[in-house]
Amino acid sequence: LAWGTNQGKDRNMPLGGLWALIVGVLIALVCRAWSGVGAAALPEVSGWVLMAKQSPVILGLLGWLGTVGWPLSVGWSMEWLGIIPVWQWSIGLGLLVVWTAGCFWNNKDGERWSVVGWLWAVVTFLPVLVPIADKGLIGERYLYLPMIGVGISVAAILGRRSMVLVAVATIPALLALSVRLPDWVSTKTLWEAAVRVHPSAFNHGSLGHALRESGEPALALRHFEKAVADPVPDLTVCQQLVGSALAMGRPDLAVQIGLWGSERGCEDGGFGGQLAVAMAFVGQWDEAEAVLGRFPNDPGGRDLVVKAALHFKKGETPELDAMVLDWKGVDPLMPQVVHLIERAQQ
């Protein structure tokens, strides 16, 4: 409305109406922070550095998605953009350059609506840099508001010819949306589609989580393996790597794959706790004790259960009693210790 009013007063320079966009974006950001939606600390420096290094690929990918719109995916991960073909993001980057040049070159009858559209797209895209640097994920949803600016600029550049472009693009756009609808049936189908489009370690790990939630630990394990085996491994799934094998009732496999994961770089406490439990299940108590000394504390407390079981087996009653008194878990410690020892003896 502000732009329309401004255009009526001064058709030569409608940029003054841009204040409405800026104020609107600021209000939206304040309301978002006030309601707690997406509230988070600023990204770490490493996130900004990685985003800066990947900026040509990120911009090229967004340029491609905003123009071609295919293939769409929920899981374009910043750390794994190297598997995107160079020709694809190069074309996208070239399209952005052509669009920018067209916006500033166009000056028919002194009107600069193409520049307004360009500024709209840039201003509404700037807040998106924070979640990209923080989460490392690049989604087409980030283009919702910027695409309004793209539409304004393209309409200004093409004039009445823009209606031809709309007519030509409508059917392919509707077909692309209809093809994607089955991807949104469930979390599982969503990440299956993401793996097909962008088979990164992150997407394999995310599909593994979805498969575990749907009660398919064997299939989940395959994708967790692929996530850890990737040239750029996703080590956040290490705990699930061992946990999936345990959920299958295969502690022997859990030990085997856990040792492999350790060689690949798995080193978090949850992974160490799961591996120690798996070793205890197969009777490898000495190995389990060694694992407890190699990894940080397990937030789930599994390492403490194994440690208490070791005290029980060795007859170290004072140490075991002290652990029982200090135990802060939801479930009592001793029943878990007894279960672990009994399971190991089967």
Mean pLDDT of 15-21: 61
Instruction: Give me the half-sphere count of Cα atoms (radius 13 Å) on the Cβ side of residue 240.
Output: 27
Mean pLDDT over each residue of the chain, to the nearest integer: 84
Cα angle 220, 223, 224 (rounded to 5 degrees) comes to 85
Q: Residues of 149-164 as b/e, b for ≥16 C-beta within 10 angstroms?
A: bbebbbbbbbeeeeee
**C-alpha–C-alpha distance, residues 273 and 291, integer Å:** 8
**pLDDT recorded at residue 106:** 60
**pLDDT recorded at residue 273:** 93
What does the block give as tokens for 157? 């550049």
pLDDT digits (tens, 9 = 90+) for 145-200: 888 888 888 888 877 777 787 778 888 888 888 888 888 889 999 899 999 988 99
**Which residues, 6 or more positions from 187, have their beta carbon under 8 angstroms from its beta carbon?**
210, 213
288: buried, middle or exposed (CB in 10 Å: 19+, 13-18, 0-12)?
Answer: buried
- Dmax over Cα atoms in the chain, in whole Å? 92
Radius of gyration of the chain (CA): 27
pLDDT digits (tens, 9 = 90+) for 307-337: 999 999 889 899 989 999 888 888 899 999 9
Using pLDDT thresholds of 50, 70 and 90, give the confidence band for residue 17. Answer: low
342: buried, middle or exposed (CB in 10 Å: 19+, 13-18, 0-12)?
Answer: exposed
pTM of the model: 0.78
